[in-house]
Amino acid sequence: MVTQATYIEYLLSTPRNYTCTHLAEHLPQVSHDQVNRFLRRNSFSPTQLRELVLPLLQDSPEAFLLVDDSVQDKRYSRLIEVAKRQYSGNEHGLVTGICLVNLVHSSGQAGDFLPLDYRVYAPELDGLTKNEHFQHMFAQVVAEDKIQARTLLFDAWYSGSTNLKLIHRAGWTFFTTLKSNRLVSRSKETGYQALADVTPPPGGWSTGLEVRLHKVPFAVRLFKLVASNGDIEWVVTNNFAFTLTQPMVEATTRTRWQVEEFHRSFKQLTGAEKCQCRRAQAQRNHLACCYLAWVSLRQFARHTAQTLYQAHQQQWAPYLRQLLAKPLIPALLPTSA
């Protein structure tokens, strides 16, 4: 019999093969069809992830929620129902894959983050956009009121006026980047202008510049961040605290990159992209188990004072030592060696 715990432990234990056939080959009296039925007939939801993660959070009013999406590459499996052709930032182009919209909690400390919620982007099935998935997840967080974090970090994709108004009306703070073609207004006299044409305030960018965004009925604070290589990033926030400075905005923006750390380890350590089942429900259940597998690995890594990658790799060390002591396949050498 295949259980959810068995499947999650398989995801964490197998080094590279994540197929139903491979699992069946390593479970006594379990067939490929039984594994496939387990994935097709169950209905695991993001609620499991929230229930698991909430007691584990290092939460505080200084914590953050990070929003971003990630495409699980399925370019070699085009018959998967929920996979679609879409843009992947990782590939910098179009791929066939399954897009996940993730809501990740960060304490603000390096390496201390956990996925809190997620949605599968499948507009042909539910008609929802990525932004609407985010709005639903945020509305649920506000309604449940179980965390202390009150600041959201996200990139330009989620910086539309609808999202900004939703966050602001809920009493939350946001920090987001803007696309270079976004128009801002310093005053009624100057009207709207491109970001590239905005001149710095009299004191420079150290404390930002109050501006208005089109269709956003409240002022925001604009910061111009210039990287060491000359790249420019425009960041806006509804935080008008007197103590907010450019270095603080830069540090907050760096925290947002923890969601990319999560995306990378989620793909590399849980087999999120490797399931070959064609049915949408099987893929959804596989991904639900992958989130729980990632949290399980993260907790094990924390208890053993290891990185996620060290914790994942060390489980094979005893087996390797055993093989080196008594190889199953002995080396063949020429007689002259």
pLDDT tens digits for range 257-289: 999 999 999 999 999 999 999 999 999 999 999
Taking 80 as the threshold, does the pLDDT of residue 336 lie above it? no
Place of tokens 């994540």: 18
For residue 155, what are its two tokens? 């990139």
Condensed to tens digits (0 to 9), the pLDDT of residues 190-217 reads 889 999 889 899 889 999 999 999 999 9
Instruction: Give the residue from 263, 236, 230 showing the smallest Cα distance to 155.
Output: 236
Q: In this model, does residue 239 exceed pLDDT 90?
A: yes
195 residue type, one letter? L
User: Taking all residues of the chain, what is their mean pLDDT, rounded to a whole number?
Assistant: 94
pLDDT in tens, 314-335: 999 999 999 999 999 999 999 8
pLDDT at residue number 337: 61
The torsion angles phi and psi of 75, rounded to 5 degrees, stand at: -60, -25
Sign of CA dihedral 42, 70, 160, 219: positive
Helix 4-13 to helix 280-303 angle (10° resolution) is 70
Q: What single letter denotes the amino acid at residue 86?
A: Q
Give the predicted TM-score (pTM) of the model.
0.94
Percentage of the chain beyond pLDDT 90 is 83
